[in-house]
Amino acid sequence: MSDQNTFLLDGEEIAFTPGQTIMQAARAAGKYIPHLCWHPEFKPHGSCKLCTVKVNGRFASACTTAAAAGLEVENRTAELDDKRRTMLQLLFIEGNHFCPSCEKSGNCLLQATAYELEMLTPHFDHFYPDRPVDASHPDVMLDFNRCILCSLCVQASELVDKKCVFVMGGRGMKGRKIIINSESGRLADTDFSVDDRAASICPVGVILKKRVGFAVPYGQRTYDKAPVSIVETEAAK
Partner 1 sequence: MNEQETIAAVLERHNHDGTRLMQILRETQEALGWLAPETITAISKGIGWPRAKVEGTAAFYSFFHLRPRGKYCVLWSDNITDRMLGNRELMQRLCEKLWLEPGRLSEDGLVFVNTTSCTGMCDQGPALLVNYRAVTRMTIDRVDEMAELIRNQVPLAEWPAEWFRVEDNIRRKDALLDHGLVPGEALAAAFARGPQALIEEIKASGLRGRGGAGFSTGLKWEYCRAAPGEAHYVVCNADEGEPGTFKDRVLLTSYADLVFEGMTLAGYAVGAQKGLMYLRGEYRYLKEALESVLARRRSEGLLGRRILDQDFDFDIEIHLGAGAYVCGEESALIESLEGKPGRPRIRPPFPVTCGYLNQPTAVNNVETLAAACLVAAKGGAWYAKLGTAKSAGTKLLSVSGDVERPGIYEYPFGVSVRQVLEDAGAKNCVQGVQVSGPSGVTLSANELERRICFEDIPTAGAFMVFDCTRDMFEVARNFAHFFAHESCGFCTPCRVGTQVVARLMDKLATNHGSPYDIDELFKMHRLMQGASHCGLGNSACNPIFDTLTKFRPAYEKRLKSLDYEPAFDLDAALSQARQMTGRDDAAAHLLNVE
Partner 2 sequence: MSEKKKLRVATTSLAGCFGCHMSFLDIDERLIDLLELIEFDRTPLTDIKHCGPCDLGIIEGGVCNAENVHVLREFRKNCKVLIAMGACAVNGGLPAQRNHLDLRDILEVVYETEGSLAKGAHIPNDPELPLPLNKVHPIHEVVKVDYFLPGCPPSGDAIWKFLTDLIAGRTPHLGHGLLHYD
**Which residues form the interface with partner 2 (CB under 8 A)?**
92, 96-102, 105-106, 111, 114-115, 118, 120-123, 125-126, 128-131, 218, 224, 226-227
In whole angstroms, how far apart are CA 43 and each of 75, 80, 85, 133, 152? 21, 24, 24, 28, 9
Sign, CA dihedral 105-106-108-112, equals positive
Residue 166 is a binding residue for partner 1 (CB under 8 A):
yes
Task: Using the minimum distance from each CB to partner 2, give the nearer residue, 4 or 121.
Answer: 121
Residue 153 is a binding residue for partner 1 (CB under 8 A):
no
Instruction: Name the amino acid, one letter, at 146.
Output: R
Q: Which of 48, 110, 147, 202 binds partner 1 (CB under 8 A)?
A: 48
Residue 129 is a binding residue for partner 1 (CB under 8 A):
no
Q: Which does 101 bind (CB under 5 to 8 A by kind): partner 1, partner 2, none?
A: partner 2
Task: Using the minimum distance from each CB to partner 1, give the nearer residue, 86 or 233.
Answer: 86
- Binding region for partner 1 (CB under 8 A) out of 7-15, 48-56, 100-108, 135-143: 48-56
**Which stretches of the chain bind partner 1, using CB under 8 A?**
44, 46-50, 52, 59, 64, 83, 86-87, 90-91, 93-94, 124-125, 127, 149, 164-176, 179-183
